[in-house]
């Protein structure tokens, strides 16, 4: 059983998947930072809106200075601004991954086109024999 587990755990696909998940997590953090620190302040400045992450509603009908103060008071908070930030993160990450996958697919396609297929050695031999018989 231990041998089977070792074979499973150290297969190339499993290691590749683990590396992909780790890089994907780091990529997600980078995009989140880009959205929170660059995109959203620009959007807020262009549309004259506050930072989306500060937009919220409370279900108790009272007004609070911030989301943190509302939560400290025990109010139910709908933080729709944070949701908007996360949605924009998702769109940017999805578009970035689309571009990366498209680039890799094009690179693989170009590589396949650049490498001409070598004919089967048996076919080459038969072609040589045919050509010599014609002579």
**Per-residue pLDDT band at 78 (split at 50, 70, 90):** very high
| Mean pLDDT across 33-59 | 81
Does 2-134 carry CATH code 1.10.1200.120? yes
Mean pLDDT of the chain: 83
pLDDT at 116 over 80: no
The pLDDT of residue 8: 72
Domain ranges, ordered by start, for the chain: 2-134
Burial 66-99 (b: 16+ CB within 10 A, else e): ebeebeeeebebebebbeebeebbeeebeeeeee
**Per-residue pLDDT band at 112 (split at 50, 70, 90):** confident
**pLDDT tens-digit map of 28-45:** 888 888 877 888 788 778
């Amino acid at each position: 059983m231990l041998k089977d587990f070792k074979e499973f755990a150290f297969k190339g696909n499993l290691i590749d998947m683990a590396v992909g998940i780790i890089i994907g997590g780091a990529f997600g953090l980078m995009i989140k930072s880009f959205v929170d620190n660059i995109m959203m302040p620009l959007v807020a400045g262009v549309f004259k809106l506050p930072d989306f992450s500060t937009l919220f509603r409370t279900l108790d009908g009272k007004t609070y200075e911030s989301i943190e103060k509302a939560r400290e008071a025990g109010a139910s908070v709908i933080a729709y601004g944070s949701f908007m930030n996360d949605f924009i993160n998702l769109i940017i990450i999805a578009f970035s991954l689309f571009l990366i996958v498209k680039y890799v697919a094009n690179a693989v396609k170009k590589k396949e086109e650049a490498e001409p297929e070598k004919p089967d050695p048996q076919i080459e031999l038969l072609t040589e024999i045919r050509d010599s018989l014609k002579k």
